[in-house]
Amino acid sequence: MKVVYADNNATTKVAPEVVEAMLPYFTEYYGNPSSMHSFGGQVAKKIDVARQQVAELVGADPAEVVFSSCGTESDNAAIWGILRANPRKRHIVTTRVEHPAVYNLGKYLVQCGYHVTELGVDSNGMLNLDELSDAIREDTAIVSIMYANNETGVIFPIEEIGQIVKGKGSILHTDAVQAVGKIPLNLSKSTIDLLTLSGHKLHAPKGVGALFVRKGITFAPFIIGGHQEKNRRGGTENVPSIIGLGRACELARNYINEESTKMKQLRDRLEEEILKKAPDARLNGHKMQRLPNTTNLSFEFVEGEAILLLLNEKGICASSGSACTSGSLEPSHVLRAMGVPFTAVHGSVRLSLSRYNTIEDVHYIIEQLPPIIRRLREISPYGSREMKMKEQAARVVAGM
């Protein structure tokens, strides 16, 4: 069956160039980079090349890049690393729309006796920066605010946020898992102190990530063990994946401008046509301040899971902000924080593109999705009642 993969914020295809770069590190160069012998030493040199490639994509110094096992680990390492290094500071500022890697850590920190301020967002998913400024206290160890939202693609004004955080003498961590590789970043001219990225969102394999830690930031390791990563992260390195991440960052850096322009064109076309063709559809999140590849749409009075199942039958992979896809019983905390009505949260669908999507993919989704929504509306007692009322109201307004 034809497969149209439009779930790239969940994970991406590993680029063939990345696979090719990784293979020799399973078969030929399997030495331990910490070994004294040159068989391991040559691998250590290749890790340094990967570190350079990652650093170049985000405008960092290679010495500021610490490899990890994933985005979740990097987020945990950033927050715990700063809390442990500053034990007298027991307050954290974050937002209500973070990925669970930060959001649920915040909940856990409260149980551990820390104070956590969660900033709300408006209906576009944007923060109020005055609220941020008011929230930062003398004992605020760290402010952790994501770069771009995984569900809506909304991009926060991270440099403005950084100015406020610096002005108040605190430390800024940003979860940039969804931003890195999709939009250009330059940490050499930035107020960000720590930044998380994850391999599998940018065409590297799953199970590898990195944390940028700015020089001069006092940071305690999260994973305590050997001396790897200059004592900042214990554990023998996942060499093939690190090599793959380096190559993926090199590819992203070379093509980021043309790829983001292409993705935006495809995404805009997709969004426009679906909003036009599917009744009672709405866009969730700021229309402009957004990643180029993401659209989050709500179809009122239908269930997101039902839409996904029917899309799946047609070979279309997407995801939903309603219960089951997130693996919990609760609908999306992001859409709820934005005040999206319950009926719309339940009928939300996220479509996220990558460099591998084509205009044919977009046409196929445009062809398949609106009839699915209409079909579901017809069989939904709630939906059809609402639709009939709306149709009646429209007829009254039109004087029919």
Residues that bind ligand PLP (CB under 6 A): 70-72, 75, 99, 101, 146, 150, 175, 177-178, 198, 200, 209
Label the pairing between strands 4-5 and 316-317.
Answer: parallel
Residue tagged active-site, from 112, 249, 317, 324: 324
Judged by CB, which is closer to ligand PLP: 43, or 334? 334
Please write down the long-range contacts of 378-386, taking CB distance under 8 Å and 24 or more positions apart: 380/301, 380/302, 380/303, 382/301, 383/300, 383/301, 383/302, 386/300, 386/301
Q: Distance (Å, rounded) from C-alpha 295 to C-alpha 353?
A: 9
Tokens 């991009």 found at:
155
Judged by CB, which is closer to ligand PLP: 132, or 177? 177
Q: Distance (Å, rounded) from C-alpha 127 to C-alpha 158?
A: 11
Residue 324 a catalytic site member: yes
351 φ/ψ sector (left φ>0, alpha ψ -120 to 50, else beta): beta
Q: How far is the CB of 64 from ligand PLP (least distance, A)?
A: 19
Judged by CB, which is closer to ligand PLP: 86, or 152? 152
Label the pairing between strands 194-198 and 172-175.
Answer: parallel
Of all residues in this chain, which one has the CB nearest to ligand PLP in the complex? Answer: 71
The phi, psi pair for 48, rounded to 5°, reads: -65, -35
Judged by CB, which is closer to ligand PLP: 183, or 366? 183
Q: How far is the CB of 181 from ligand PLP (least distance, A)?
A: 12
235 φ/ψ sector (left φ>0, alpha ψ -120 to 50, else beta): left
The answer for residues whose C-beta is within 8 angstroms of residue 166's C-beta and 6 or more apart is: 172, 191
Q: How far is the CB of 171 from ligand PLP (least distance, A)?
A: 18
Q: How far is the CB of 173 from ligand PLP (least distance, A)?
A: 12
Judged by CB, which is closer to ligand PLP: 200, or 233? 200
Q: How far is the CB of 75 from ligand PLP (least distance, A)?
A: 6
Active site residues: 324
